[in-house]
């Protein structure tokens, strides 16, 4: 059966049939100037936006400058000698496929030949900026009911169907396999720092960040009914929750062992399921109600300014806009190490783009680089991937030009997402 979508909709496919690559018009970029000619404009449709952002996966052509010095990195035709690898591929093709009736027919036939369900077309709801929508969405999160991630999913997408997953990896795969529409996963905590596992998974998978949500974390000490604090011999919870409550547990006079488990709500579930009357859990007040436990102490986090930032992930990116504050997340690397970091950061500083986050992670494919030196022998340097968040939308010319310049300094560049910032008024955690 042919899957036909109206012309105003974009077509999603779950397989990748080999079709002729679409080569967009080249984009003229003048360094140290924010003058860029984008033929299609931004915000008209998803295809327009992808074509406009072709700088991310196409060769950037610099206008010939009379004052250009030899060896500055541009050829006689004004083109850059060095073409960076974007999204992990050394290519100058955008690899976009024009949406035509023939393409739709080919994609539908490919799905049928592989015994896969027909591709699902986008609706106008999917194009709305998160978190303005969320009704009837299936949202994956890591943990069990009562976890803070479940609360974050509910805040990001009210009235959604929350789908618990036992691991972060499973949440990613649930979205990729169309079991869930979105995933809401923690990326950093104001006290515990970055959740490195999810940074690594962002690079391994091909999901897009479509929003963020910040959730105040309010920890409680939970135990079975009738259990008093003096009966306790151990406390279990997520490692970060234990660390965030260390001083308060000591002030409560609890001389107990601390043991780490996968998540906070899972700790409460484990105590209740095994009727452990000598064990307490650190979890949310909602977890206490779900698993029939009493709250021995409320608000036991050492710092009331305890906030976890979550990112919302989807199979397709949203269209960047300029009518509200946006944030963009990228990851990049260079084959010669960290020497280009200053140049990359200067591309944002010159255009007055504020960075909100920079995180380095070991390069898994090449964790160590060896450098020969006649004087001291062979030196070993760690190789890193750099994750950067900056306050600008990809619909802004300054952000597009900044990434065009960054591409010249890197051998790997990937845009993880351009999405609305969470502008919810902040207040210290005060319970659920």
Q: Which residues are catalytic?
A: 308, 310
Rounded Cα gap, residues 358 and 356, in angstroms: 7
Tell me whether strands 384-390 and 257-260 are parallel, antiparallel or unpaired.
Answer: unpaired
Rounded Cα gap, residues 71 and 83, in angstroms: 15
> Residue 275: is it exposed, middle or buried by C-beta count within 10 angstroms (0-12/13-18/19+)?
exposed
Rounded Cα gap, residues 79 and 90, in angstroms: 16
CB atoms within 10 A of CB 123: 12
| Tokens matching residue 343 | 């140049």
CA distances (Å), 255 to each of 247, 258, 353, 428, in order? 12, 10, 49, 28
| Tokens matching residue 380 | 């070993």
Q: Phi/psi of residue 171, each to 5°? A: -65, -40
Q: Is the dihedral of CA 160, 165, 167, 169 positive or negative?
A: negative
């Amino acid at each position: 059966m042919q899957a036909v979508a109206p012309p105003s909709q974009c077509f999603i496919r779950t397989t990748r049939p080999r079709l002729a690559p679409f080569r967009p018009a080249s984009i003229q970029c003048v360094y140290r100037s924010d003058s860029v000619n984008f033929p299609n404009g931004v915000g008209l449709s998803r295809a327009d936006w992808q074509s406009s952002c072709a700088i991310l996966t196409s060769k950037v052509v610099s206008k010939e400058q009379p004052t250009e010095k030899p060896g500055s990195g541009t050829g006689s035709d004004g083109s850059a000698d060095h073409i960076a690898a974007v999204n992990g591929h050394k290519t100058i093709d955008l690899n976009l496929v024009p949406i035509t009736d023939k393409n739709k027919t080919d994609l539908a036939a490919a799905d049928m030949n592989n015994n896969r369900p027909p591709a699902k077309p986008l609706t106008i709801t999917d194009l709305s900026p998160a978190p303005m929508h969320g009704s009837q969405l299936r949202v994956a999160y890591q943990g069990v009911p009562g976890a803070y991630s479940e609360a974050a999913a509910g805040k990001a997408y009210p009235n959604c169907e929350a789908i618990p997953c036992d691991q972060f990896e499973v949440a990613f795969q649930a979205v990729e396999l169309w079991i869930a529409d979105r995933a809401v996963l923690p990326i950093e905590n104001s006290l515990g720092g970055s959740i490195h596992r999810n940074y690594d998974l962002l690079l391994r998978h091909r999901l897009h960040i479509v929003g963020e949500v910040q959730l105040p974390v309010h920890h409680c000490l939970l135990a079975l009914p009738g259990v008093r604090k003096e009966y306790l011999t151990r406390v279990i919870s997520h490692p970060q929750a234990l660390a965030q409550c260390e001083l308060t547990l000591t002030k409560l006079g609890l001389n107990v062992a601390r043991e780490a488990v996968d998540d906070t709500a899972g700790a409460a579930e484990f105590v209740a399921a095994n009727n452990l009357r000598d064990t307490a859990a650190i979890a949310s007040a909602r977890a206490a109600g779900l698993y029939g436990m009493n709250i021995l102490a409320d608000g036991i986090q050492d710092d009331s300014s305890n906030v976890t930032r979550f990112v919302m992930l989807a199979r397709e990116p949203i269209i960047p806009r300029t009518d509200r504050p946006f944030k963009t997340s990228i990851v990049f690397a260079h084959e010669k190490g960290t020497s280009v970091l200053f140049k990359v950061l200067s591309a944002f500083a010159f255009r007055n783009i504020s960075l909100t986050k920079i995180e380095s992670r070991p390069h898994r494919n090449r964790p160590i680089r060896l450098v020969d030196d006649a004087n001291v022998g062979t030196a070993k340097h760690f190789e890193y991937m750099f994750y950067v968040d900056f306050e600008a939308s990809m619909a802004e010319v300054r952000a597009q030009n900044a990434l065009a310049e960054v591409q010249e300094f890197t051998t790997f560049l990937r845009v993880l997402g351009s999405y609305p910032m969470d502008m919810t008024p902040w207040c210290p955690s005060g319970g659920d």
